[in-house]
Every structure is written in structure tokens, then in C-alpha cells.
């Protein structure tokens, strides 16, 4: 449900009113109606009645908080996390997975229908494990002088304050079990007051930790970290500034993960998909939708380090990946050599600038995949139409920009054949999806 904000604050009636929620939005907020106005209420589920108090009121909608819940939905469950409602990481652990994914699929369908006029189902959904899915997490570090204690955790909702995280059930268990010993380790450092953040990553090669420190670490602190690294079999990396990543132990093997049978080596600072199980399904679905043939020439825009590009290369004549981050392009090129794929070219280009003079743009392609950031791909959509590919697969982390960019293809005569909702981030408001467009009528499920 899109919310429209007015710059002028309206009078908020602080009285208590009774409502019954009739829907849920993608953020997990209950939606109720009162005197013709839509009210968004965190923590209230469809069918539940509650006494609420308005916290913000605009011309078209209002926000409210629950004062007293008068009934419970069968879709209400007990959250697994002890930090739920305080930590800003998850918003929907009180909601059954069934309701979460169906709500997100409905929001996706609604946005596409509203923006394009096309009615299409976002089912079947690409599902994730309910918990233990996150293989990457960055936690803030903040030293409290009065308590003489280091806080390590995620931000509270709508504040910059940290929640001291001791358990995180959405993390992969191999990472969650490191939280408490890692906190004790960092709290014992001489440099404890000058730490920025810590990132935990689970590669297929094992867990790794990246520690951002604001001052050079002394020898004693490095020894403490080395002991932790050996004891817990974790690869440790130190980040003195954003460009000075170095392994704690020299000649540490580079981390890697597998996708579609390929081995992809990456730097701890490289972007990789947080949810490995959904990533595997997503890549498989994209390859199936593209219906790859040995004579195909495929273009992969916003390609990252080749998460899609390299699996595509195993099945086609040639594939070109275009990416704006230099380090990701270098990782893609390295992994192409590692996997002995000689039909791949990577280009480092800014896809938000004038693309017509970029070298890849002069080539011809009969199939296209794109996986842009939240801002979407407005700058390349017209060029994709000029290429006249048979099929286009659009992977999206923002349904609003997916719907917007879809209109360019539809107006050019393409057909929206299929849409999938990807449950990449269970218990959160993030909505990931993918869509297949074809230059001719077809039926793929």
C-alpha cells in the first residue's frame, strides 16, 4: 500500500477509537478504515479488533498505535526473537509466513495492475526458510563509558540507538552462535572505544568477520583477535578505512560460494545475496525463463560479480555483464577465468549516464537480464527496447520501480508473461520480485 505524505501536519485527535483491521501492508502494518479514512496500525493483523490512538493524521490517511487489542487473528504467532519489537531488523515475526508472503504478493500484483493495467498473479512464490536464512549481517558497535560495556547490535526502529543483540534467529546458525563470544572478544580489546562496526558473513568456505576499527590496532589486540579466529575457525579481516581491507592472518584463503554448480570467489566487501537458498532458486528461475540456447547472445545489466552472468555463460554463445562497481567487475572477470568460461565479457560502466556511447551498447543481444538497485533502470529501458530482445528478465528489489520500468516494455509491444514474489527477507517489509517479458505471446509457468 503506497502512502502519500502531505508536507503540512494535520491536527491529531488523541482520543481512543475502536477499529477492526481488514488488510495488511507489505511493512506488516494493519490497515483499518474509520470515517472514510485509511489508518495504518503497526502490530495489528487482519480481522483483529483493537482500541487505537492516532499518532499522525493527514488528509488521506492516518497512523495509529494499539492501546488494547481486543481479539487475536489465527495468523498471529509468537516471535522467535527476544529482541522483537525493539530491534528494527524484523517487523513481522508475529505474523504467519503464509500471511506475510501472500500479502507481499498481493502488493506486487496491485502495483503492477495500477501502473500498467496488467492483471497478473505473483504466484507461485519463491520461498525461503522462515529462520536461519541470513548469511550476511552488519552490526553496529558503540561503547558506553558509564556502563563500561560495548553494545553490539542492530538499530532500534526509527532511532540510531543500538539494541545489544545476543540472539538473532534470522541469521544462519553458524553466525548466530558467534554473537556472544565475539561480543566478549571485542569488549576485551584496548581499542574497544574506537570500533565502528562488525560484519559477519557465511561463505561456503566457512564464516568470516570484518571489523571496522577507527584507529590502528595494537599488537595485543591483534593477538586477541588471532586467538578468536583460531578458536572459532573464523577468517578475520581488518578494515582501517573503507579501502584498507586486510586479512588478520597472512595468506588467508579467499572466501567463495557456489551457484548453479560454479565456484565464485569474492572479497568480504563484495555484494552477495543475503539469502543463499532464495538466490539459488532465483538464478534457476531466471535461466529457465530465458530458455537459453547455444546460439544466444545475452546481456546482463547491473550484473554485480556475475551471480547470473556466469551461470548463463555455461549455456550460451556469449554473455556480456555491465556493472558500475569496479571491484565487482574485477571479481566477475576473475571468476570467469577460475571457471574456465571464455565467452564472458565484463564492462565497468555507469548505467545511469549516457549509455549509447558505451562499448557494450554497440553489440547485439537476443536476450536480456537486469538486476538494478532500488532506483530501478530508467536509464537503460529505452536501449533495451532498441535491442529488440526475444525475452527480458527483470529482477527487482523495489516493486514501484519494477512497475514503472515495465511500462516502457509494454508500450513497446512486449508481453508481461510471468511474475514471481521472492521471499528473500522473511519477517521484514522488503519485497523482492522478478518478471519475465516476451516479444511474443507465450505461456511459461
Q: Residue 124: is the preceding peptide bond cis (ω within 30°)?
A: yes
Could you please report the per-residue DSSP string of 81-99?
Answer: -TTTTTBSS-S-TTB-HHH
Cα 425 to the center of its chain, rounded Å: 7
- DSSP code string of 41-88: EET--TT-EEEEEEEEE-SSEEEEEEEEE----TTB---S-TTTTTBS
Strand partners, 283: none
Residue 81 among known ligand-binding residues: yes
397: annotated active-site residue: yes
Distance CA 54, CA 12 (A): 6
Q: Is 185 annotated as a binding residue?
A: no
Sheet holding 162-164, edge to edge: 162-164, 149-155, 136-144, 195-203, 206-213, 235-239, 245-247
- In this structure, are residues 420 and 101 in contact, taking their beta carbons and an 8 Å threshold? no
Identify the helix (H) or strand (E) that includes residue 211: strand 206-213
Is 23 annotated as ligand-binding?
A: no
C-alpha cell at 64: 495509529
Q: Is 371 annotated as a binding residue?
A: yes
Among candidates 48, 80, 52, 81, which has minimal Cα distance to 67?
A: 52
CA distances from 90 to 45, 65, 425 (A): 16, 18, 9
173: left (phi over 0), alpha (psi -120 to 50) or beta: alpha
Annotated ligand binding at 303? The verdict is no
Are 17 and 52 spatial neighbours (Cβ–Cβ below 8 Å)? yes
Strand bridging mode 318-323 / 16-20: unpaired
Q: Are the C-beta atoms of residues 223 and 271 closer than 8 Å to each other?
A: no
Q: Which of left, alpha, beta for 52 (phi over 0: left; psi -120 to 50: alpha)? A: beta
Choose the catalytic residue: 10, 185, 226, 397. Answer: 397
Cα(9)–Cα(56) distance, integer angstroms = 8
Which active-site residues does the annotation give?
397
| Known binding-site positions | 81, 87, 90, 168, 273, 302, 307, 323, 350, 371
| Known binding-site positions for S-adenosyl-L-methionine | 273, 302, 307, 323, 350, 371
| Known binding-site positions for [4Fe-4S] cluster | 81, 87, 90, 168
Amino acid at each position: 500500500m503506497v502512502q502519500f505524505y502531505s508536507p503540512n501536519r494535520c491536527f491529531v485527535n488523541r482520543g481512543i477509537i475502536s477499529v477492526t483491521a481488514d488488510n495488511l501492508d507489505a511493512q506488516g502494518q494493519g490497515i483499518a478504515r474509520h470515517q472514510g479514512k485509511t489508518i495504518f496500525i503497526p502490530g495489528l493483523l487482519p480481522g483483529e479488533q483493537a482500541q487505537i490512538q492516532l499518532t499522525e493524521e493527514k488528509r488521506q490517511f492516518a497512523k495509529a498505535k494499539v492501546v488494547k487489542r481486543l481479539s487475536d487473528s489465527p495468523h498471529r504467532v509468537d516471535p522467535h526473537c527476544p529482541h522483537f519489537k525493539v530491534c528494527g531488523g524484523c517487523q513481522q515475526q508475529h505474523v504467519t509466513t503464509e500471511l506475510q508472503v501472500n500479502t507481499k504478493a498481493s502488493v506486487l500484483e496491485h502495483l503492477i495492475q495500477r501502473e500498467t493495467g496488467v492483471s497478473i498473479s505473483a504466484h507461485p512464490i519463491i520461498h525461503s526458510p522462515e529462520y536461519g536464512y541470513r548469511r550476511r549481517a552488519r552490526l553496529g558497535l558503540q561503547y558506553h563509558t558509564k556502563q563500561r560495556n560495548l553494545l553490539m547490535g542492530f538499530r532500534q526502529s526509527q532511532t540510531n540507538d543500538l539494541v545489544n543483540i545476543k540472539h538473532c534467529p534470522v541469521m544462519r546458525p553458524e553466525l548466530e552462535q558467534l554473537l556472544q563470544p565475539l561480543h566478549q572478544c571485542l569488549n576485551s580489546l584496548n581499542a574497544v572505544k574506537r570500533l565502528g562496526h562488525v560484519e559477519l558473513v557465511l561463505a561456503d568456505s566457512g564464516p568470516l568477520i570484518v571489523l571496522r576499527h577507527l584507529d590502528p590496532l595494537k599488537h595485543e589486540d591483534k593477538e586477541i583477535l588471532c586467538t578468536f579466529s583460531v578458536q572459532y575457525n573464523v577468517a578475520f579481516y581488518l578494515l582501517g578505512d573503507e579501502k584498507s581491507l586486510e586479512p588478520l592472518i597472512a595468506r588467508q584463503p579467499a572466501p567463495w560460494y557456489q551457484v548453479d554448480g560454479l565456484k565464485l570467489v569474492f572479497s568480504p566487501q563484495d555484494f552477495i545475496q543475503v539469502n543463499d537458498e532464495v538466490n539459488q532458486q532465483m538464478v534457476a528461475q531466471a535461466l529457465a525463463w530465458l530458455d537459453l540456447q547455444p546460439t544466444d547472445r545475452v546481456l546482463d545489466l547491473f550484473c554485480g560479480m556475475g551471480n547470473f552472468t556466469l551461470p548463463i555463460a555455461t549455456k550460451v554463445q556469449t554473455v556480456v555483464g555491465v556493472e558500475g562497481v569496479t571491484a565487482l567487475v574485477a571479481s566477475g572477470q576473475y571468476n570467469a577465468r577460475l571457471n574456465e568460461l571464455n565467452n564472458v565479457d565484463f564492462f565497468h560502466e555507469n548505467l545511469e549516464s549516457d549509455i549509447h556511447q558505451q562499448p557494450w551498447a554497440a553489440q547485439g543481444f537476443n536476450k536480456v537480464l537486469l538486476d538494478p538497485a532500488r532506483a530501478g533502470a530508467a536509464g537503460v529501458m529505452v536501449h533495451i527496447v532498441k535491442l529488440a530482445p526475444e525475452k527480458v528478465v527483470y529482477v527487482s528489489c523495489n516493486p514501484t520501480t519494477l512497475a514503472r520500468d515495465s511500462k516502457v516494455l509494454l508500450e513497446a509491444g512486449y508481453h508481461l508473461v510471468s511474475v514471481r514474489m521472492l521471499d528473500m527477507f522473511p519477517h521484514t517489509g522488503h519485497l523482492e520480485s522478478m518478471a519475465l517479458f516476451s516479444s511474443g505471446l507465450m505461456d511459461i509457468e
